[in-house]
Amino acid sequence: MSNQPSMIRSLIAQDNPFNTTDELLQWIRRRNEEIKVAIEPADLKSMDQWYMDGDGCLRHRSGKFFSIEGVHVETDFGPRQAWDQPLINQAEIGYIGIIAKEMDGVMYFLMQSKVEPGNVNHVQISPTLQATYSNCTRVHNGKQPNYLEYFLNVRPDHIILDQLQSEQGSRFIRKRNRNIIIRVDDDIEVKEDFRWMTLAQLKSLIRHDNLINMDTRTALSGIRYANYMDNNTDWEAFSPLGRDLILSANAPHGLHSLDNLLFLLTRLKVKYTLKITPKPVNKLEEWNIYDDRIARADNQYFQIIGRKVSISNREVLSWYQPLLQPLEKGICAFIIKKIKGIVHFLVQAKVECGNFDTVEFAPTVQCSAENTNDPYRQPLFLDYIENADSKQVIYDTLQSEEGGRFYREQNRNMIVVASDDFETEDIPDNFTWMTLYQINELLRYNNIFNIQARSLLAALPYAEQ
Amino acid sequence: MSNQPSMIRSLIAQDNPFNTTDELLQWIRRRNEEIKVAIEPADLKSMDQWYMDGDGCLRHRSGKFFSIEGVHVETDFGPRQAWDQPLINQAEIGYIGIIAKEMDGVMYFLMQSKVEPGNVNHVQISPTLQATYSNCTRVHNGKQPNYLEYFLNVRPDHIILDQLQSEQGSRFIRKRNRNIIIRVDDDIEVKEDFRWMTLAQLKSLIRHDNLINMDTRTALSGIRYANYMDNNTDWEAFSPLGRDLILSANAPHGLHSLDNLLFLLTRLKVKYTLKITPKPVNKLEEWNIYDDRIARADNQYFQIIGRKVSISNREVLSWYQPLLQPLEKGICAFIIKKIKGIVHFLVQAKVECGNFDTVEFAPTVQCSAENTNDPYRQPLFLDYIENADSKQVIYDTLQSEEGGRFYREQNRNMIVVASDDFETEDIPDNFTWMTLYQINELLRYNNIFNIQARSLLAALPYAEQ
């Protein structure tokens, strides 16, 4: 096993000379106690540094960070053809950066315990660097983010991945972040809020509710394991399920060719139309501006709220900001199935109003778990997921969305192994089957897999017994 | 040679039992005489079915086809930081479709002789199907385009390629067309304006000025030859240069890895900003609206003109439309060089104002060949191209831009083999070297290579002696 590539060894290495997984759990628990967090309601119109313009949009006085704006949406995807809604407009590209370092033949990742105002449990495990462009250029006069210089000065041959990936298409207008993982060779100081972790530990911790934050999940999902597999790869080190998954990550040829998966995406981008027109927030149909929130009268979907935030260890100790609060419980799930001996994922092509290019690939199920009596909202395969036998469910965890924008949002993330009689051929036009290799290959390119899919993929492959 | 894949045989097959290359040249010459074309100047404000709105925008009364709109551009790419200009806004995705058929072990392509109003020589060799969505849905009440039904009913396993690719980023706002090549197995009627051609014939005809139209070039550029190369591939059938090129098309590993090429693209998309703001045409700085044109006072770049068009064999016999007329001669060139035994292309990452995603890969040189005294317009490597020894120049042809939107635009297309002392390592930050395999791999994805690069790539690889 000594020649095993360090990235693959990291997938297997539950042991870590720096800290055990239990110690990491204790560390997060302790940080939760130590860091003082106060989140108080604030009127939307009286948040320091923010103002509501004549259209009802919420904007930062610097013109930076993000704004809450309104849109009218028209599309022929799905049963609802037109609606109004607010969206978060965040034009600037943020850093989601992780530093990796090979030590004793194992790749370690430098992770941070970080508080975000919307986090359900305050402290979560976050990337080494998680900062908007405004943070990096110190628009808010805070400290320069830790470890930023490593990313600014990285040599091209030390980049493990560097991708622009989308965030929630139903909440952001074309938002993207830079997902970047870099390797350092030199010794590097491990600062107070940071710890080295293996992939095996991260993929174990991700099975705890709301512990690995969204930004970590999206960055981890982009690692292309096929790059690291070779004759030295020790398949026996994986559990039978782990082996099935890592072999899928090494399987370029699946039920469909990569070409045909790309042609499907083209076909659906031509088939579906999506038209977004800016519309003042105070004119959005079904939506109202109240003192403390922007919300629908029927309290469906989500609302925009104001909060005053005080966090003891952040660059800026106290600030005001709007947050998006979901009013429904979400569920995101992949159905997977062994087809011709290789694990395939049932992938949905989905149009969301803020998508960069109309269609992105999404999990098999991505919806609200409520309101299933609404004829407009009866997603395919939800029944199958919810009625699956517990032996079929190989992953079932509550995962938080980004606490810098979303208030206490947690979605149920599931991976369900389909039974043998699950239909393989006769699936809807906008669904297809892919191997994990094919998914990883498409993930090299921007805006092909959405954040909900990437959040699930971050848990894979895993080698636990 | 009998087991040679049909696509590779097509690259070699100068012989064609249906028509020799000379017969194809005569056919185009004859069609040029037979088809009656009249193009007459028209005042912009008195074109039937078109109107100029209060902002000076030109729009079709149906709301379809395209419009001429104004934008203000801000970018930190290049020396000019801000300017105004008109752009063509064509939201709908058009078909660029070619039917292919394998006959006697050779792949043939069904090409059309087609007139476009702006064509410098009227008739050019065009795809089987070249139609806007409005054409296909008969917004202008013409006939349904020939062979459309084959594309509407194609089986997924008969698709050779299906991509959304960009058009000129300096003239269109985020315009894309669907480049699709399909295979048919059944007999198919060859209609009056159509002929079967091999790839070898197309790549011979493309060496004639203004003969293979832009849409054909972009569709052909997407064929991924590595898909068709195997143990049966007869490299000896290629000329030494042709062999170097086809081997480059089979070389996944070049000076840089594909990962590093993608990371470069991410880095440059983050580095450069591009902001486009709509602005009324009648308020564009430096631009004026005259009766017969929208143009700059200094007559630089291009102008928008009106034309009345009468063509005897088109679905609609006569119509009015605006056209974009260039006022300078353009030049697009790749510098190629054998590095470690494999032909590499010197590729430029370029920001153009109408780009779908800020940066696309472009030829080494893409510029106007004039105004080189203007300090803002002194492109790198132009000197090298213009002073290259004739033995270094392996391709030098005038190629037309799309005659449905551009008036008599022809750009010089060149491929130049760099001398051994041409610098390989120390090149500007937004340039890189790629093999033809890597280019073809990136071309599978939307909006990575621009139309000028694809136009040049269409001529390759070629097997002529």
Q: CATH code at A448?
A: 3.90.79.40
Q: Are B343 and B255 in contact (CB under 8 A)?
A: no
Shortest distance, CA A268 to any CA of chain B (angstroms) = 11
First-to-last CA distance in chain B? Answer: 18
Buried (b) or exposed (e) across A252-281, using 16+ Cβ within 10 A? eebbbebbbbbbbbbbbbbebebebeebeb
Banded pLDDT at A135 (limits 50, 70, 90): confident
How much is the average pLDDT of A32-45?
92
Residue B178 has its nearest CB partner, among A157, A162, A266, at: A266
User: What are B327's two structure tokens?
Assistant: 């006022």
CA nearest to A339, candidates A439, A263, A244 = A244
How much is the average pLDDT of B134-149?
76
Is pLDDT at B288 greater than 50 in this prediction?
Answer: yes
pLDDT at A1: 43
CB pairs A-B closer than 8 Å: 59
Name chain B contacts of A95, Cβ cutoff 8 Å. none
pLDDT at B236: 84
Lowest mean pLDDT among A357-371, B167-181, B270-284: A357-371
Interatomic CA distance for residues B262 and B250, integer angstroms: 19
Tell me, yes or no, whether A173 lies in a domain: no
Residues of A with CB under 8 A from a CB of B: 93, 156-157, 159, 161-164, 178, 180, 227, 259-260, 262-264, 266-267, 269-270, 356-357, 444-446
Radius of gyration of chain A (CA): 22
Tell me: the pLDDT tens digits for B368-426? 877 666 766 678 999 999 999 999 999 999 999 999 999 999 999 999 999 999 999 99
Average model confidence (pLDDT) for chain A?
93
pLDDT at A465: 47
Is pLDDT at A139 greater than 60 in this prediction?
Answer: no
Backbone φ and ψ for B311, nearest 5 degrees, come out as -130, 130
Tell me, yes or no, whether A239 lies in a domain: no
pLDDT at A311: 87
Percent of all residues in chain B with a pLDDT value above 70, rounded to a whole number = 96
How much is the average pLDDT of A264-268?
97
Backbone φ and ψ for B379, nearest 5 degrees, come out as -65, 145
Record: contact B163-A266, CB cut-off 8 A: yes
Tell me: the pLDDT tens digits for A445-454? 999 999 999 9
pLDDT at B465: 47
Is pLDDT at B145 greater than 80 in this prediction?
Answer: yes
Record: contact B262-A93, CB cut-off 8 A: no
pLDDT at B130: 94
The one-letter code for the residue type at A158 is: H
Shortest distance, CA A332 to any CA of chain B (angstroms) = 27
How much is the average pLDDT of B146-154?
94
Record: contact B178-A270, CB cut-off 8 A: yes
Q: Are B85 and B353 in contact (CB under 8 A)?
A: yes
How much is the average pLDDT of B172-192?
95
Range of the domain at A351: 248-274+328-458
DSSP secondary structure string for all residues of A388-409: --GGGEEEEEEEEPPTTTBSS-
How much is the average pLDDT of A420-429?
94
Q: Which helix (H) or strand (E) holds B243?
A: helix B240-248
**Pairing between strand B106-115 and B129-131?**
unpaired
Interatomic CA distance for residues A21 and A202, integer angstroms: 9
pLDDT at A126: 97
pLDDT at B19: 96
Record: contact B162-A262, CB cut-off 8 A: yes
Buried (b) or exposed (e) across B34-58, using 16+ Cβ within 10 A? ebebebeebebeebeebebeeebbb
pLDDT at A371: 63
Contacts of A189 (CB under 8 A, 6+ apart): none
Is pLDDT at A457 greater than 50 in this prediction?
Answer: yes
Burial (Cβ within 10 Å: 0-12, 13-18, ≥19) of residue A243: middle
How much is the average pLDDT of B196-225?
97
Burial (Cβ within 10 Å: 0-12, 13-18, ≥19) of residue B132: buried
Shortest distance, CA A427 to any CA of chain B (angstroms) = 15
Degrees to nearest 5, angle at CA A103 with A99 and A105:
120
pLDDT at B410: 94
Tell me, yes or no, whether A401 lies in a domain: yes
How much is the average pLDDT of A23-39?
93
Q: Are B176 and B93 in contact (CB under 8 A)?
A: yes
Contacts of B399 (CB under 8 A, 6+ apart): B206, B209, B210, B212, B214, B217, B410, B411, B412, B413, B455
**Pairing between strand B410-417 and B330-339?**
parallel
Record: contact A444-B263, CB cut-off 8 A: no
Tell me, yes or no, whether B236 lies in a domain: no
Q: Are A304 and A45 in contact (CB under 8 A)?
A: no
Is pLDDT at B63 greater than 70 in this prediction?
Answer: yes
Banded pLDDT at B142 (limits 50, 70, 90): low
Record: contact B178-A263, CB cut-off 8 A: no
Q: Are B221 and B443 in contact (CB under 8 A)?
A: yes
Q: Where are the beta strands (DSSP E) in B258-375?
A: 274-278, 287-289, 293-296, 302-311, 318-326, 330-339, 342-351, 359-362, 365-368
Interatomic CA distance for residues B289 and B322, integer angstroms: 13
Interatomic CA distance for residues B430 and B352, integer angstroms: 14
User: What are B204's two structure tokens?
Assistant: 């011979």
User: What are B334's two structure tokens?
Assistant: 């790749």
Percent of all residues in chain B with a pLDDT value above 90, rounded to a whole number = 83
Tell me, yes or no, whether B442 lies in a domain: yes
Longest distance between any two alpha carbons in chain B, whole Å: 65
Tell me, yes or no, whether B256 lies in a domain: yes
- B396 pairs with which residues across the strands? B414
Q: Which helix (H) or strand (E) holds A382?
A: helix A382-386
Q: Examine the predicted complex and report whether its ipTM is higher than 0.90.
A: yes
Is pLDDT at B303 greater than 70 in this prediction?
Answer: yes
Residue B263 has its nearest CB partner, among A162, A262, A267, at: A162
pLDDT at A250: 94
Is pLDDT at B1 greater than 60 in this prediction?
Answer: no
Tell me, yes or no, whether B401 lies in a domain: yes
Instruction: State how many domains chain A has.
Output: 1
How much is the average pLDDT of A211-227?
96
How much is the average pLDDT of A301-319?
88
Is pLDDT at B110 greater than 50 in this prediction?
Answer: yes
First-to-last CA distance in chain A? Answer: 18
Interatomic CA distance for residues A207 and A230, integer angstroms: 28
Greater model confidence, A266 or B230: A266
User: Three-state SS for B380?
Assistant: coil
pLDDT at A140: 56
Residue A164 has its nearest CB partner, among B163, B264, B266, at: B266
Count the alpha carbons within 13 Å of B83 in the hemisphere toward its beta carbon: 17
Average model confidence (pLDDT) for chain B?
93
The one-letter code for the residue type at A421 is: D
Shortest distance, CA A259 to any CA of chain B (angstroms) = 8
Shortest distance, CA B99 to any CA of chain A (angstroms) = 16
The one-letter code for the residue type at A208 is: H
pLDDT at A4: 79
Record: contact B262-A445, CB cut-off 8 A: yes
User: What are B400's two structure tokens?
Assistant: 């037309």
Banded pLDDT at B280 (limits 50, 70, 90): very high
Nearest chain B residue to A181 by CA distance is: B263
pLDDT at B136: 77
Degrees to nearest 5, angle at CA A333 with A201 and A301:
115
Interatomic CA distance for residues B248 and A116, integer angstroms: 50
Tell me: the pLDDT tens digits for B34-48? 888 899 999 999 999
Buried (b) or exposed (e) across A40-51, using 16+ Cβ within 10 A? eebebeebeebe
Interatomic CA distance for residues B206 and B456, integer angstroms: 10
Which letter does DSSP use for residue A450 in this model?
A: -
SS3 assignment for A256-302: CCHHHHHHHHHHHHHHCCEEEEECCHHHCCCEEECCCEEEECCCCCE
The one-letter code for the residue type at A319 is: W
Nearest chain B residue to A263 by CA distance is: B162
Percent of all residues in chain A with a pLDDT value above 70, rounded to a whole number = 96
Handedness of CA B259, B264, B269, B271 (dihedral sign): positive
Is pLDDT at A142 greater than 70 in this prediction?
Answer: no
Residue B270 has its nearest CB partner, among A178, A260, A263, at: A178
Q: What is the residue whose two structure tokens read 């890597």? A: B438
Percent of all residues in chain A with a pLDDT value above 90, rounded to a whole number = 83
How much is the average pLDDT of B230-251?
89
Is pLDDT at A429 greater than 50 in this prediction?
Answer: yes
How much is the average pLDDT of A283-308?
96
Tell me: the pLDDT tens digits for B319-339? 999 999 999 989 999 999 999
Interatomic CA distance for residues B403 and B215, integer angstroms: 10
User: Three-state SS for B352?
Assistant: coil
Interatomic CA distance for residues A459 and A207, integer angstroms: 8
